[in-house]
Every structure is written in C-alpha cells, then in structure tokens.
Amino acid sequence: MIECVSDEVRYENDFIIEISTLLLEQLLDSLDGIELKIVLQEKVDSQASITDSKYSYASPECGITIAKVVKNKGYKFEVVINQGLEWQCFLRTLIHELTHVAQYQRKDLAHVDTSLGESLTYFKNIAYDCDEVKYQDQPWEIEAVNNEIKMLKFLAGWIESNNSNKSNYERTNCDGKYGQA
C-alpha cells in the first residue's frame, strides 16, 4: 500500500502515488507487502526522523527515507520530501529515496549493530562502516544517484506517451511554471 500526505496542496497526492508506484514497479520484482507513506512537507527535519529509526538516510534540504522494521513483516517505509523543491529536483529526490526503499525491500541494504557497539551497513552482503566511507562512495548511494538519471528519462517517456497524466504533470509543475522538467 502506498499513501501520500502533504502539508498543503502543491503536488497532487494521487499523481505522486501513481508515479511512485510506477517507479517501484521498475525497481522491484513485486510490490507485494510494500507499506510506504510519502510525506510532503515544507521542511524536512532529518534529526527528528532519525531518532525514530536508525535505518535512515537524509539530505535535510531534500528528503529522507525511514525504514522501520515491522516484526516478521519486513519494513514499513516512510519517505519525507521537501515539497518546496523545484519539480525536477523533487522527482530526483523521490527517485533517490524510492531506490533506498527498493534496496531495503530486496534485502540489498541492511544495518547491523555489532557487539562492540558499532553500526555496520551491509549492501549486497558486504559490510561498510559509514564513518569510514564517504557518502558519495557508498555503493547504495551510487546506485540511488545513478537511478535518478535513468528513472527521470523513463518518467519523461512515460509522461510523454500518457496524455491523460500529462495534464496532471503540467498542472503540478512547481512555482507556476508549466512545461516539462
């Protein structure tokens, strides 16, 4: 189940759900069991969200992914995005954060606390100490950034070929500017 909530109506929630579903269908073999809440708000407070869950990645000005473990059910996801972003940046952030959702769901990305009190991140069964690997060199972040461009091209083609959604897309473009990102 995917839901979208927002502080104000800047982007149409149904359209964001439709785009998110489409993107996740490209990133995952199945959407079975996905519990995702997309929260659009004026300011992303990454520190407040991080205290709720240690399974978080944040860019405070753009967005954050929170993956909460639900006992015997996998993860329950919450993606919080700054709705004040310019449309293309908003889409890139959505794609980036949904990539992390897919990584958790596929079990490619996991976090483990060691008996020594350290926290390790596992990506595709390889352990990484995030304190020792720069953000831009973390393989799960590299995958998310690479997906931004690939999925933006995919979305542009989808929007172009789907006239019924194109009017929604133009209507939801940011700051009163119309046309494509």
Q: Domain limits of the chain?
A: 2-176
pLDDT digit string, tens, across residues 16-32: 999 999 999 999 999 98
CA 145 to chain centre: 11
Q: CA separation (Å) from 173 to 83, 118, 120, 170, 180?
A: 11, 43, 39, 5, 8
Q: Which residues pair with 175 in a beta bridge?
A: none
pLDDT at 48: 42
pLDDT at res. 180: 34
CB neighbour burial string for 131-143, b if at least 16 within 10 angstroms, e if fewer: eeeeeeebbbbeb
Q: What is the pLDDT of residue 53?
A: 43
pTM, two decimals, is: 0.79
How confident is the model at residue 177, as a pLDDT? Answer: 33
Q: Which residues contact 69 (CB under 8 A, 6 or more apart)?
A: 55, 75, 76
In degrees, rounded to 5, the angle at the alpha carbon of residue 38 between the alpha carbons of residues 65 and 66 is 20
pLDDT tens sequence across 130-154 = 889 998 899 999 999 999 989 999 9
At 72, is the pLDDT very low, low, confident or very high (cuts 50, 70, 90)?
Answer: low
Nearest to 104 by CA among 22, 23, 32, 28: 28
Is 2-176 assigned to CATH 3.30.1540?
no
**Does the structure show a pLDDT above 70 at 49?**
no
* Listed residue (82, 1, 86) closest to 40, CA to CA: 82
pLDDT band at 54 (very low <50, low <70, confident <90, very high): very low
